């Protein structure tokens, strides 16, 4: 098992729209100054995107599709380009209509795709799983380029649900901190491009491997032993022929719920990653659900390119049973290899490893 | 080796055979199958209908399989449907809009991949799992996905389609340890349609 696929896969950032602004550069400026985009709005701390009018989902989808259409025109012309969308709830406000159907038709018609996009809906690991799926399709030579789009918006539906679960924090969220009280919700649209060839564009890295694993334990609570996350990262390392020591940085999930962050610390401890610098971006943009794996991968790519570790905002006092090296201030550091990981409802866990291209090291 | 099972309100088909016919007497046909199978799994009664159908369908499919030789992460799971968890989404929305009391137990089922999670819990599957939203069964990328899994990562794949709307309830699963060809896909599409309940 785990015979290595031999074809190389490269990944680069596209656009990202979030509470940190409308571009990767906007977001990076805010990350560098440790500025959160989360604000108090109607008694909820949320990472809201400015200027979304009418139906938030349609408004955001229009904006990101415009961006893809303009910046990826060449790729869209290639017949075998595949599009994968990662979302948990799509346009849930359209209920009782099928929220995914109208999204799919719009994506297909605006981008002029000959086949329908593949839609991944795997809760909070959707984005990572979608990138892994894209990479596997390229390695298997099913296609040469894949655009992976992640999108989810704030909605009454989702915030009411998390509130009913007592999972929302009543202040800025504090991933990995002793006083963390839950999540802040966020919204984002972001895309990455995976390719079988190196493109002469910056913000690009080699995608080495990815994997997912189920806890097989509980549908809405993480495993106490971190079993699924442990397995997902272990498999990813094995598939990349790497060891924990080879990893420079873990861009972790860090939702700031008591159980998730604790579970991550246990899994990372089992993996020998306690000394590896780790962070969460959730206190900057909130938990963006189906978009999280995509936009956080974009931020991780930027960290690699800039050789910069970004402070895990909200972290002050260590609040986990196992040690973790949480990045407590921005720091310049030679970064070549990063793990992006995530966990979510349904017991899902997923990870991927990116490596800086040789000429950049 | 490839096996199929399709369950719906009227009938259960296992490969070429009619495995079970509903008496039509039970308020919920899924409970009738649960009892007919002699299952003791109280969690079943808390599940949403997507999960109930998937778990039952695989229990029946398992009668054709010998899973003892597989490691706990050697079976990859891919499920899909057209309407995600829309049926439960509506129930949850009703809980806070109509009944003014948001139900956390409904909310946790407002994601389609909870179904793969329930399947994993029942069967102790620690492997890869994926849930896709597609226009139809025929649009699911079964061939590319099964082949990349079997070529690289796993020993067998459990795949299928599970749909629940106000007017439709069905689950079709297939289990394969062989790479799929276009001929296999044509067979699958036919099997799905032959015992379709649309």
| C-beta separation of A59 from A53 below 8 A | yes
Predicted confidence at residue A360, as pLDDT, reads 61
Query: What is residue A7's predicted lDDT score, i.e. its pLDDT?
Result: 83
Give the closest of A5, A218, A346 to B113, CB-based: A346
Name residues whose C-beta falls within 8 Å of residue B82's C-beta, 6 or more positions apart in sequence: A98, A100, A101, B133, B134, B135, B136, B163
In this prediction, residue B198 carries a pLDDT of 39
pLDDT in tens, B125-181: 999 999 999 999 999 999 999 999 999 999 999 999 999 999 999 999 999 999 999
Which residues share a beta bridge with A185?
A46, A287
Residues of B with CB below 8 A from A348's CB? 113, 116-117, 129
Residues B98, B91: Cα–Cα separation, whole Å: 10
CB B34 within 8 A of CB B60: no
Does B25 lie at the interface with A, CB-CB under 8 angstroms? no
CB A251 within 8 A of CB A339: yes
A17-33 exposure pattern, b = at least 16 Cβ within 10 A, e = fewer = bbbbbbebeebbebbee
Burial code of B67-81, b = ≥16 C-beta within 10 A, e = fewer?
eeebeebbbbbbbbb
Distances (CA, A) of A243 to A238, A337, B100: 8, 11, 51
Residue B91 clears pLDDT 90, i.e. is over it: yes
Contact A163 B125 (CB under 8 A): no
Does A214 contact B82 at a Cβ distance shorter than 8 Å?
no
Residues B34-87 pLDDT 10s: 999 999 999 999 999 999 999 999 999 999 999 999 999 999 999 999 999 999
Burial of A159 (0-12, 13-18, 19+ CB in 10 A): middle
Other Cβ atoms less than 10 A from the Cβ of A356: the count is 20
The partner residue sitting opposite A140, judged by closest CB among B124, B126, B144, is: B144
Q: pLDDT tens per residue, chain A (361 residues)?
A: 344 456 899 999 999 999 999 999 999 999 999 999 999 999 999 999 999 999 999 999 999 999 999 999 999 999 899 999 999 999 999 999 998 999 999 999 999 999 899 999 999 999 999 999 999 999 999 999 999 999 999 999 999 999 999 999 999 999 999 999 999 999 999 999 999 987 655 557 999 999 999 999 999 989 999 999 999 999 999 999 999 999 999 999 999 999 999 999 999 999 999 999 999 999 999 999 999 999 999 999 999 999 999 999 999 999 999 999 999 999 999 999 999 999 999 999 999 999 998 666 5
The whole-angstrom distance between B121's CA and the closest CA on chain A is 4
Residue indicated by tokens 């000394």: A275
Give the whole-angstrom CA distance, residue B198 versus residue B174.
19
pLDDT value for A22: 97
pLDDT of residue A4: 47
Q: Which of A3, A133, A160 sits opposite B102 (nearest CB)?
A: A160
Q: What ipTM is given for this predicted complex? A: 0.96
What confidence category does residue B22 fall into, taking pLDDT thresholds of 50, 70 and 90?
confident
Interface test with A, best of B86, B104, B130, B148 (most A CBs within 10 A): B130
- A142 with B155: Cβ contact below 8 A: no
Residue B143 in contact with partner chain A when CB distance is under 8 A: no
- The Cα–Cα gap between B159 and B174 comes to 5
A340 CB-near residues (< 8 Å, 6+ apart): A128, A251, A293, A296, A297, A300, A351, A352, A353, A354
* Phi and psi angles of residue B183, each rounded to the nearest 5 degrees, phi first: -60, -45
**Number of A–B residue contacts, CB under 8 Å:** 154
Chain B residues 33-92 with CB within 8 Å of chain A: 72-74, 82-84, 86, 89-90, 92
Are A119 and A104 contacting, i.e. CB atoms less than 8 angstroms apart?
yes
Q: What local confidence, expressed as pLDDT, does residue A2 receive?
A: 42
Report pLDDT for B179: 97
Tokens of residue B35, six digits: 């009892």
User: pLDDT at position B196, please?
Assistant: 53
pLDDT at B194: 82
Nearest CA to A72 among A180, A201, A160, A185?
A201
């Amino acid at each position: 098992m785990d015979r290595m696929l031999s074809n190389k896969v490269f990944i680069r950032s596209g656009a990202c729209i979030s509470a940190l602004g409308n571009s990767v550069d906007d977001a990076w400026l805010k990350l560098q100054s440790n500025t959160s985009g989360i604000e108090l709005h109607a008694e909820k701390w949320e990472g809201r995107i400015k200027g979304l009018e009418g139906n938030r989902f349609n408004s955001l989808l229009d904006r990101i599709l415009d961006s893809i259409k303009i910046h990826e025109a060449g790729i869209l012309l290639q017949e075998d380009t595949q599009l994968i969308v990662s979302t948990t709830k799509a346009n849930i406000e359209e209920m009782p209509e099928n929220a995914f159907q109208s999204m799919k038709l719009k994506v297909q018609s605006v981008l002029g795709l000959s086949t329908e996009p593949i839609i991944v809906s795997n809760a909070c690991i959707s984005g990572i799983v979608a990138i892994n799926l894209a990479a596997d399709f390229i390695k298997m030579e099913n296609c040469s380029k894949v655009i992976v789009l992640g999108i989810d918006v704030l909605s009454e539906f989702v915030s009411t649900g998390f509130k009913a679960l007592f999972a929302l924090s009543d202040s800025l969220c504090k991933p990995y901190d002793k006083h963390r009280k839950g999540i802040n919700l966020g919204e984002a649209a972001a895309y990455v491009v995976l390719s079988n060839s190196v493109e002469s564009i910056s913000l690009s890295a080699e995608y080495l491997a990815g994997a997912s694993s189920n806890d097989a334990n509980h549908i809405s609570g993480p495993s106490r032993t971190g079993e699924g996350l442990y397995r997902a990262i272990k498999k990813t390392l094995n598939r990349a022929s790497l060891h924990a020591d080879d990893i420079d940085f873990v861009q972790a999930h860090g939702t700031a719920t008591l159980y998730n962050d604790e579970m991550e610390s246990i899994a990372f401890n089992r993996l020998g990653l306690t000394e590896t610098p780790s962070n969460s971006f959730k206190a900057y943009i909130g938990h963006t659900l189906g978009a999280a794996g995509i936009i956080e991968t974009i931020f991780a790519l930027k960290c690699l390119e800039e050789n910069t570790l970004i402070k895990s905002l909200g972290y002050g006092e260590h609040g986990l049973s196992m040690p973790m090296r949480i990045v407590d201030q921005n720091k310049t550091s030679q970064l070549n290899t990063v793990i992006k990981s995530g966990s979510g409802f349904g017991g899902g866990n997923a990870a991927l490893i990116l490596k800086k291209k040789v000429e950049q090291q | 080796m490839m096996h199929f099972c399709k369950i719906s309100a009227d009938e259960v088909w296992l490969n070429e055979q009619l495995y079970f016919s509903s008496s039509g007497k039970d308020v919920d046909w899924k409970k009738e199958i649960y009892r007919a199978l002699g299952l003791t799994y109280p969690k079943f009664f808390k599940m949403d209908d997507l999960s109930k159908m998937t778990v039952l369908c695989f229990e029946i499919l398992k009668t054709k399989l010998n899973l003892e030789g597989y490691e706990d992460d050697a079976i990859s799971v891919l499920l899909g449907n057209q309407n995600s968890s829309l049926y439960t989404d509506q129930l949850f929305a009703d809980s806070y809009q109509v009944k003014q009391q948001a139900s956390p137990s409904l909310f946790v089922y407002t994601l389609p991949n909870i179904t793969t999670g329930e399947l994993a819990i029942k069967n102790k599957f620690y492997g890869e799992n994926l849930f896709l939203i597609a226009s139809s069964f025929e649009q699911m990328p079964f061939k590319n996905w099964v082949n990349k899994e079997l070529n690289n990562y796993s020993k067998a794949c459990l795949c299928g389609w599970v749909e629940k709307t106000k007017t439709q309830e069905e689950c079709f699963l297939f289990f394969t340890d062989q790479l799929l060809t276009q001929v296999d896909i044509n067979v699958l599409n036919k099997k799905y349609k032959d015992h379709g309940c649309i």
